[in-house]
Amino acid sequence: MSNEAILHQHETGTHDVGHAHEHHHHETFITKYVFSQDHKMIAKQFLITGIVWAIIGGLFSVLFRLQLGYPESTFPWLEDFLGHWAKGGKLDPQFYYALVTMHGTVLVFFVLTAGLSGTFSNFLIPLQVGARDMASPFLNMLSYWFFFAASVVMFASLFVQTGPASGGWTIYPPLSALGEASEGSKIGMDLWLISMSLFIINALLGGLNYITTILNLRTKGMSMTRMPLTMWAFFFTAVLGVLSFPVLLSGCILLLFDRNLGTSFYLSDIVINGKILPNEGGSPILFQHLFWFLGHPEVYIIVLPAMGITSEVMSINSRKPIFGYMAMVGSLFAIASLSFMVWAHHMFVTGLNPFLGSFFVLLTLLIAVPSAIKVFNWLTTLWRGNIRFTPGMLFAIGFVSMFISGGLTGIFIGNSALDIHLHDTYFIIAHFHIVMGVAGFFGMFAGLYHWFPKMYGRYMNNTLAYIHFWVTMIGAYLIFWPMHYEGLAGMPRRYYDFSNWESFKMFAGLNQFISFVSIIVFAAQLLFVFNFFYSIFKGRKVTTLNPWGACSLEWSTPIRPGHGNWPGEIPEVHRWAYDYGKDGRDFIPQTEPVGEHESKH
């Protein structure tokens, strides 16, 4: 028997299920794969664009980690790739800063915002609330193509002569406003601003669609409190995005004005390279307020979807209802609302009035309360479960571990008395990479491994998935845990070289270790990428409708649902999405009416 035959021996007899839906209209290649209005295809477009960006953004970090870990060495092959940016095989400091900036921008916005909520909101919202598609499939398609346009502009900025933006992903003016201050603040910065403006349009179109769909297109019986927690998480994420992204847009446009039209929103009293600028009366701090009014909710835009996915995957694989459903919804709401009132904790050392700062300390540390509720509820969900360690479940457990580690360090830096010491050191790098970067990615991986069968009708390879998980989990801690110590020594972030600093040069060995591990972890991600694309075409086929034994609606669709999701009527919902292990039954799907003798909860 050939290998393929072994793999697919179980599928005979189930073929009809996958093709049961009606082909209600003729689709060409263009309408099906390119300008598709099907939410599932748009989700895949977001996902694959996000994966491409993740590889690029991750590669940037490998390049600058080479410099940080091996400051004395040269890598002649770098010059072959990067030309004048790596003369003699050593990164130019200007390009180092460009890499740092683009790594942040790409991963925060293009991967963990578009790639995460773009993929899963699009894919899951209609499937889990029971809708044929988004409220406006056309706007949904536009949303992706604005993201694509933003990607093209950002990608183009990598190739301009003066290099891409290089003032850090937070692009604080005046550095980002004045071409004289930095090569990266020339045309590269304009392209960055244009790209981000297009990106914000994408986020708004998408977000409005998600909100409208969740509020209006739920199937019969699907009350708000019967929705899976993923839906609540995507809903709050979309609200956050719709309310905060426009503020960043205004900040970007004012910066474009300052750069190109001679206004002084952010500029005052500046002498640069001996040249006295005429601008007076502007405030660079204004930009920071505008930026962080988005920037802080942004980190929750990344982490809320990951929380939703984790809750769902964890409950399914523990074969137990999620503990404290209403508390989970309430804490999502609390986190989302508090996230609008804490932005100035990024600005404790800008000269912000200390009295004003104290309110931000209070509100920031308050976020720890709903976060603690979530963690304890996840722990209780595991307690007395019957846990299956699917790759998705392992990443969900990893998410909780990362969220605890990174969340606790937030208590340090949210307290202004400690932030004054730790601000802009490696402690900050460690904190947000663990709680937002790694945790965000873990949420994304949990979702991908879990819903891949629904997306492509095939499974991903489990062995590769387990290798991917364990290398990433161990590697992430090896990379970021020791960074806290560098931060406690005051070692500043965004330094190209520490060898001239009496106060920081003793960490050369550790920096080398971190760089080494990060290269291995990057390679493990390539393993995932390979597994993903290989499995789309060659993975083991899904042969049952509901491979994980889940209650939610998406598993009541055909194995490969067509446009419209359900071939016949949309099913009616009779219960919440978490009836696992109830009354001695493994699970009861949402579509099953409540029995007469069923126990209440």
- Judged by CB under 8 A, the chain residues 45 through 64 that form the site for other proteins are none
Partners of 275 in beta bridges: 272
Subset of residues 333 to 372 that bind other proteins, contact rule: CB under 8 A: 349-351, 354, 357-358, 361-362, 365-366, 368-369, 372
Contact yes or no for 502/426 (Cβ under 8 A):
no
Which positions from 524 through 563 interact with other proteins, judged by CB under 8 A?
A: 526-527, 530-531, 540
The single residue among 397, 446, 479, 514 that binds other proteins, judged by CB under 8 A, is 397
Residue 167 Cβ, how far from other proteins at the closest point, in Å? Answer: 6
Choosing from 506, 545, 572, 595, the residue that interacts with other proteins (CB under 8 A) is: 506
For residue 76, give every residue at least 6 positions away whose Cβ sits within 8 Å of its Cβ, in sequence order, or none. Answer: 88, 89
Number of residues that bind other proteins (CB under 8 A): 132
* Residue in this structure with the two tokens 């889990």, named with its chain if needed: 128
Q: Which of 538, 565, 530, 533 is nearest to 454 (CA)?
A: 565
Please identify, among the stretches 44-52, 165-173, 220-228, 238-246, the one whose residues bind other proteins according to the rule CB under 8 A: 165-173
Query: Measured from the CB atom, is 454 or 468 closer to other proteins?
Result: 468
Contact string 88-107 vs other proteins (x = CB under 8 A)? ----xxx--x----------
132 makes contact with other proteins (CB under 8 A): no
CB closer to other proteins out of 282 and 589? 282
Q: Which residue, 42 or 375, has its beta carbon nearer to other proteins? A: 375
5 forms part of the interface with other proteins (CB under 8 A) = no
d(CA 51, CA 45) in angstroms, rounded, equals 10
Candidate list 501, 536, 549, 558; residue touching other proteins; CB under 8 A = 501
Minimum Å gap between C-beta 301 and other proteins is: 24
**179, 186 contact by CB (below 8 A):** yes
Q: Give the nearer residue to other proteins in terms of CB position, either 167 or 571.
A: 167
Residue 269 in the binding site for other proteins (CB under 8 A): yes
| Peptide bond before residue 589 is cis, with ω within 30 degrees of 0 | no
In the complex, what is the shortest distance from the CB of residue 323 to other proteins, in angstroms, rounded to a whole number? 6
Amino acid at 304: L
Nearer to other proteins, 141 or 361 (CB): 361
Burial zone of 353 (CB within 10 Å; 0-12 exposed, 13-18 middle, 19+ buried): exposed
Cα–Cα distance measured from residue 292 to residue 106, given in angstroms and rounded to the nearest whole number: 17
Q: Tell me which of 183, 190, 258, 298 binds other proteins, using CB under 8 A.
A: 183
Task: Please tell me whether residue 489 binds other proteins under the rule CB under 8 A.
Answer: yes
Tokens of 63: 């390049």
Name the CA dihedral angle for 136, 138, 144, 146, rounded to a multiple of 10 degrees. -110
Q: CB neighbours of 128 closer than 8 A, spacing ≥ 6?
A: 227, 228, 230, 231, 552, 553, 554, 577
Q: Measured from the CB of residue 568, what is the shortest distance to other proteins in angstroms?
A: 31
Between β-strands 275-276 and 271-272, what pairing exists: parallel, antiparallel or unpaired?
antiparallel
Q: According to the binding rule CB under 8 A, does residue 464 interact with other proteins?
A: yes
Positive or negative, the CA dihedral 150, 155, 156, 162 is positive
